[in-house]
Amino acid sequence: MKIKNILSAENHKLLKDITSDTSIVICPADKGKAIVIEDRDNYLSKMQDQLDEGDYELDGRKEKTLLDKLHKKLTTQLKIMDIDLDDKKERYKYLAAAPVLANMYLLIKVHKKNFPGRAVVNQTDDPTYKICKILTDILNPLAIQSRSYIENSFELKKVLKSVTVAPDDIQASFDVRSLYPSIPIQKTLQITRERLYADDKLPDRTKWNPDDIIKLLEICLETHFKTLDGRIYTQTDGTPIGKSISGPLADIYMDWFENEYIYSDSNEFRDNIKIWKRSRDDIYILWKGGEEALDCFFWRVNYVDPRIQFTIERENNRVLPFLDMSLKRYPNKIETKIYRKETHTQKYIHWKSNHSKNCKLGILKGLIHRAHLLCDRKEDLLEEIQLLKDVFIANGYPKKLVEKTVNQSWKTELEKEMKRIAEEIRRTEQPVTHPDEEETNEYYDCLYAPYIQGFSENLQKDLKSLNVGVAFKTTKTLFCMVCKLRPKREVDDQKNVVYHIPCNSCMSCYIGETGNKFSARKYQHEYDIRTQKKKNGIGDHMRSKKHKINWTNRTFLAVEKDWKLRRIKESIFLNSLNPSTEIDASKLMNPEKGMEMAECWKEFNPIVRDLLKKATSKSTPKSPKKVQKRKLPRKIGK
């Protein structure tokens, strides 16, 4: 089988031209799935606006100093908690292998005047990244317990059904202005500590005690980041947008705020509030008692905490947009339909995009299902489905297929609805569920693999017979190729790589892998060669044959974050060059061959060798050209 390149040579050139243009910045829009091309100077001045507005200070310290400081604090605390950081597995669980400083970038708000930016801190691979994720899982259950919590519009719809609406009720929505940066850290940590101590389910989630959790949170909230032009800032208060723990921490603080100022006796308007439901910073309110009282309440609630400021949106002609719904008030009920902002691009995965047919049709089916759930009126549903038809045809979907999918959906949606009602009845009659009765045709295992048109469909069929499911993972998208918002790194600072180093004087090479930065691994190699204390394949080859290595000829064969997968990839390359059990020194400098591979992989060796040859063609030595031709097989693969 041959894997085709999806992009034409012309498209590749276009991509290269766009990405090498330094006068522009390509970034995502805040909402609506659009991509924004912004003048670089404009982008930087919008970034400055954000920095001036929030609790940020320019930090004169160097990146390495800050990274070392955070690393030291973190390791000291983890050691106090009896975590054995000398154990490779433990270290991998809690610490980043080669941490980098977080970076701030902007999402452009295309739905607002002058297109301001929303600042986001990308925390991936910063020293506290892994700990933050663990803490998020520990804190999330506390956030969900909140009285006002709704996960999405479906949940709000359920709440609406349970409330009797009076003719003079009104709807409004409150929005907390820049919620995350407004959360006061000290107060929030104090509340979180109390909540953790009161949580008797905490031992089910972690064996860490509340005090240690708070100490880790304090370290994680020390946020330093770089901007696109390389300056370093420190955030002095508020939770950073983009850090995973900011979500639950904001919820925990807002829950406290609501208990203090909304649900409590001190709130003289408490009985006016029929519904107060919050999805992070968006609050839906159903209010009785008239406009004037609502105004007073709004002013009052903005007065209690200077950091937490609300904006209000009132219903217009009895209609209020909230989340992705439009809510219309009738004298005795509220009906919903789907709502889209005007700036929504109506772009979904294009029909020609490299995804399986099932996945693409799944998006349409999902949106049809959502329409059924959110549209109360038949005419709204029909209008929404007509819109979906037009939008998907405009996204390149064949007209006949769209119509067929829509036609079939009426039946499947009806079945789903009947199943849901039956399930409800079953649950009320017989509340205990029997786990073994539930879904019988579930897959036991699942393979995550990139999608390759024409090949993946067959693979899916074959694996289905073995009760193994296939989930396609998205690898490189056009978007991630053009959108580069991190300050540039040195090429040798690339980490998580499988690398290839050729000998300058013969055809032998070294293939290795590292989770660290390549530059650090290279330094280690050089040190081992100099000191001769440790066994080192490259050093042995250089000494025994009097050959030279030129480090600049190195090639990265693969970038892979998962260390197991990285070792497998390394072994695949090693085996392709040296299939026999004994190592042939004329082919490999490695003293060992890596992981043992199953026999069936041998079949792929010619293809892998071909890949290797292409990847390293620029760096292979020039002098022994004839040797090269003889040693590497010329007819490779199909």
Query: Which is nearer to Zn ion, 42 or 628 (by Cβ)?
Result: 628
- Distance (Å) of CA 27 to CA 1, 40, 149: 37, 11, 32
Q: How far is the CB of 621 from Zn ion (least distance, A)?
A: 9
Environment class of 144 (CB within 10 Å of its CB; exposed 0-12, middle 13-18, buried 19+): exposed
Q: Which residues of 27-60 are buried (b: 16+ CB within 10 A; e: fewer)?
A: bbbbbbeeebebeeeebeebbeebbeebebeebe
Please report how many Cα atoms fall inside a 13 Å half-sphere around the Cα of residue 469, on the Cβ side. Answer: 9
DSSP conformation letters of 17-44: HHHH-TTEEEEEBSSTT-EEEEEHHHHH
Q: How far is the CB of 55 from Zn ion (least distance, A)?
A: 57
- Distance (Å) of CA 423 to CA 103, 416, 426, 428, 437: 48, 10, 5, 9, 13
- Distance (Å) of CA 30 to CA 20, 27, 108, 278: 24, 9, 5, 20
Of the candidates 115, 95, 118, the residue with the CA atom closest to the CA atom of residue 105: 118
For 229, residues 6+ apart whose C-beta sits below 8 A from its C-beta are 44, 487
Q: Which of 246, 409, 508, 620 binds Zn ion (CB under 5 A)?
A: 508
Site for Zn ion in 539-578 (CB under 5 A): 547
Q: Report the 10 Å Cβ neighbour count for 451.
A: 20
Q: How far is the CB of 549 from Zn ion (least distance, A)?
A: 8
Q: Which of 505, 524, 553, 628 binds Zn ion (CB under 5 A)?
A: 505
Query: Which is nearer to Zn ion, 355 or 525 (by Cβ)?
Result: 525
Q: Which of 26, 506, 577, 597 binds Zn ion (CB under 5 A)?
A: 506
146 interacts with Zn ion by CB under 5 A: no
Number of residues that bind Zn ion (CB under 5 A): 5
C-alpha span between 129 and 245 (Å, rounded) = 10
Query: Which is nearer to Zn ion, 250 or 506 (by Cβ)?
Result: 506
Query: Which is nearer to Zn ion, 247 or 621 (by Cβ)?
Result: 621
Q: Are strands 102-108 and 223-226 parallel, antiparallel or unpaired?
A: parallel
The phi-psi region of residue 467 (left if phi > 0; otherwise alpha if psi is between -120 and 50; otherwise beta) is left
C-alpha span between 216 and 210 (Å, rounded) = 10
Q: How far is the CB of 536 from Zn ion (least distance, A)?
A: 14
Q: How far is the CB of 529 from Zn ion (least distance, A)?
A: 14
Query: Which is nearer to Zn ion, 279 or 508 (by Cβ)?
Result: 508
Segment near Zn ion (CB under 5 A); pick from 196-204, 387-395, 404-412, 499-507:
499-507
For 426, residues 6+ apart whose C-beta sits below 8 A from its C-beta are none
Site for Zn ion in 249-278 (CB under 5 A): none
Query: Which is nearer to Zn ion, 377 or 543 (by Cβ)?
Result: 543
Q: How far is the CB of 610 from Zn ion (least distance, A)?
A: 23
Residue 536, classed as helix, strand or coil, is coil
Nearest residue to Zn ion, by Cβ distance, number only: 503
Query: Which is nearer to Zn ion, 338 or 529 (by Cβ)?
Result: 529
Q: How far is the CB of 72 from Zn ion (least distance, A)?
A: 42
Q: How far is the CB of 550 from Zn ion (least distance, A)?
A: 11
Q: How far is the CB of 79 from Zn ion (least distance, A)?
A: 45
Phi, psi of 164 (to 5 degrees): -85, 130
Query: Which is nearer to Zn ion, 224 or 587 (by Cβ)?
Result: 587
Q: How far is the CB of 392 from Zn ion (least distance, A)?
A: 58
Query: Which is nearer to Zn ion, 99 or 621 (by Cβ)?
Result: 621
538 interacts with Zn ion by CB under 5 A: no
- Distance (Å) of CA 507 to CA 145, 577, 594: 64, 11, 20
C-alpha span between 536 and 519 (Å, rounded) = 17
Query: Which is nearer to Zn ion, 198 or 627 (by Cβ)?
Result: 627
586 interacts with Zn ion by CB under 5 A: no
Q: How far is the CB of 609 from Zn ion (least distance, A)?
A: 19
Q: How far is the CB of 546 from Zn ion (least distance, A)?
A: 9
Query: Which is nearer to Zn ion, 307 or 547 (by Cβ)?
Result: 547
Q: Which of 119, 368, 381, 503 binds Zn ion (CB under 5 A)?
A: 503
C-alpha span between 599 and 605 (Å, rounded) = 11
> At 450, which amino acid appears?
P
Query: Which is nearer to Zn ion, 188 or 508 (by Cβ)?
Result: 508
The phi-psi region of residue 289 (left if phi > 0; otherwise alpha if psi is between -120 and 50; otherwise beta) is left
Handedness of CA 155, 158, 164, 168 (dihedral sign): positive
Q: How far is the CB of 583 from Zn ion (least distance, A)?
A: 14
* CB of 314 closer than 8 Å to CB of 172: yes
Query: Which is nearer to Zn ion, 433 or 623 (by Cβ)?
Result: 623
Q: How far is the CB of 510 from Zn ion (least distance, A)?
A: 10
The contact mask relative to Zn ion for 454-493 (x = CB under 5 A, - = no) is: ----------------------------------------
Residue 379, classed as helix, strand or coil, is helix
Q: How far is the CB of 627 from Zn ion (least distance, A)?
A: 11
Structure tokens that stand for 161 in this block: 């059904």
Query: Which is nearer to Zn ion, 133 or 548 (by Cβ)?
Result: 548
> At 328, which amino acid appears?
K
- Distance (Å) of CA 294 to CA 174, 288, 311, 611: 11, 9, 13, 68
Counted residue by residue, the chain has a size of 638
Segment near Zn ion (CB under 5 A); pick from 155-163, 178-186, 450-458, 497-505:
497-505
Site for Zn ion in 170-229 (CB under 5 A): none
Residue 228, classed as helix, strand or coil, is coil
Query: Which is nearer to Zn ion, 242 or 621 (by Cβ)?
Result: 621
Question: Which residues are near Zn ion by CB under 5 A?
Answer: 503, 505-506, 508, 547
